[in-house]
Amino acid sequence: MSEVHVVIPEGIDDPAQPSGGNTYDRRVRDGLASLGWTVHEHPVPGAWPRAGAAAHAALARAVERVPDGEVALLDGLIASAAPEVLVPEARRVRLVVLVHMPLGHRPPDDEADMLRAGEREVLASAAAVVTTSGWTKRRLRELYALPADRVHVGEPGVDVAAPAPGSEGGGALLCVAALTPGKGHDLLLQGLASVGDLPWRCTCVGSLTRDPPFADRVLALARTGGLGDRVSFPGPRTGAELERSYAEADLLVLASHAETYGLVVTEALARGLPVLATEVGGVPEALGHGDGGARPGLLVPAGDAAALGAALRSWLEDAELRARLRRAARGRRAKLRPWADTASDIAGVVELAAVNRHLGHAGAAR
């Protein structure tokens, strides 16, 4: 079998909606086609995972178009939120679910409990589950007791780019993340405020419209904290604009509270940029090591503004540290995997689901 039906959120190709998940979905879709698979794309509208009845009806119509016995590769943002649509279809269609961030990873509350229950049903009925990191695979197995042989890792790839030249003082800081609570911009501003006596500027590239109330609070915090002339929020950037942002930077900073991998980490490393990030989820895997096991960046505990500020101070004040991390980042750059490898990983999982008719039926029977 060489056909696959890809069910994805509508708008993943929209440059106004950049995200790691959209990038991953696009590259996998295109990579499977490059490998010779016939890819049938089914974009589904809706604000997933909190989509309404109309979006669920659109999903049902999309899955109904998948012929009996064929493979549907579904973005987990959709799949994990729609057990009532997908679980009944698992006996007819071989479901492969791509989980970027488990819905069940959220702190418990009534909504999270409901999402977790639905995600458990969907993943138990799937022929296979694909995650983006070893951490996410372990987390899914902890949450749902999924068999190890049905959960696979498709580590994201990256396009290696020209090395960023960097500046002597290292004061050009870059954050690439949508302004949402999970990305920790408020924490980042606290860390930056603690090094206000040192020379630096920080550009925070990312959407301001995903969570407007939070974005407004962050912008207000920057103004009231006296950082308004040193921290900029230009909104999302793609293509040449984003390339210039990386080329002009000295250090990527990421203060996330949760990440399954952290695609921007490898995008920075692909340009030889060191990284300062919180030690969450799959970020340590993305950061990796350069030559001789040297780590190409600094990791700090999540939610610890003081630790973030101390790491920023070390970077800005210690020229030897900057040189060492830059060497490690260049070494890591040479080891990064291409997107073609990711597509091959996913193709292997899809092929396994396609040829083994019993996988989907066994899952559905649980």
Reported as a single tens digit per residue, the pLDDT across 262-291 is 999 999 999 999 999 999 999 999 999 988
Cα–Cα distance between 97 and 114 in angstroms, integer?
Answer: 19
Q: What is the dihedral of CA 151, 155, 156, 159, to 10 degrees?
A: -150
Nearest to 73 by CA among 364, 355, 261, 351: 351
3-state helix, strand, coil in the chain (%, to 5): 50, 15, 35
- Look-up: residue for tokens 């999302």? 236
End-to-end CA distance of the chain: give it in Å, rounded.
26
Buried b (16+ CB within 10 A) or exposed e, 286-296: bbbebeeeebb
In sequence order, the 6+-apart residues with CB closer than 8 A to the CB of 271 are 161, 162, 163, 164, 246, 247, 333
**Cα→Cα distances 130→50, 106, 294, 313, 350, Å:** 22, 19, 29, 39, 10
**39 or 49, which is more confident:** 39
CATH superfamily of 3-157+339-364: Glycogen Phosphorylase B; (3.40.50.2000)
185-193 vs 212-224: helix axis angle to the nearest 10?
A: 10
pLDDT tens figures, 146-196:
999 999 999 999 999 999 999 999 999 999 999 999 999 999 999 999 999
What pLDDT does 358 receive?
Answer: 43
Q: Which CATH fold topology does 172-333 show?
A: Rossmann fold (3.40.50)
Ranking 56-70, 106-120, 151-165, 181-195 by mean pLDDT, the lowest is: 106-120
Q: What pLDDT is stored for residue 361 in this prediction? A: 41
Residue type, 40: H
**What is the average per-residue pLDDT within 197-210?**
96
Those residues with Cβ within 8 angstroms of residue 120's Cβ, 6 or more apart along the chain or in another chain = 104, 143, 144
- Asked if 290 and 330 count as a contact pair (C-beta separation under 8 A), the reply is yes
Q: Do domains 3-157+339-364 and 172-333 have the same CATH topology?
A: yes
Sequence ranges of the domains in the chain: 3-157+339-364, 172-333
What confidence score (pLDDT) does residue 108 get?
67
Helix axes 305-317, 185-193, angle to 10 degrees: 50
Question: Residues 227-235: what's their mean pLDDT?
Answer: 95
Q: Which of 7-21, 78-92, 159-173, 201-215 has the lowest mean pLDDT?
A: 7-21
Taking all residues of the chain, what is their mean pLDDT, rounded to a whole number? 93
38-42, 109-113, 227-231, 236-240, range with the lowest pLDDT: 109-113
Short-list 111, 104, 112, 177, CA closest to 136: 104
Q: pLDDT-derived band of residue 135, with 50, 70 and 90 as boundaries?
A: very high
Which residue is listed with tokens 């056909």? 3
Distance, CA of 78 to CA of 213 (rounded, Å): 25
Q: 232: which 2 tokens?
A: 């900029």
Quote the pLDDT of residue 16. 75
Residue-level pLDDT at 106: 72
- HSE-up of residue 321 (Cα within 13 Å, Cβ side): 15
Q: Where are the alpha helices (DSSP H) in the chain?
A: 20-34, 53-64, 76-79, 83-86, 110-125, 134-144, 185-193, 212-224, 239-247, 263-269, 283-287, 305-317, 319-333, 339-355, 357-364
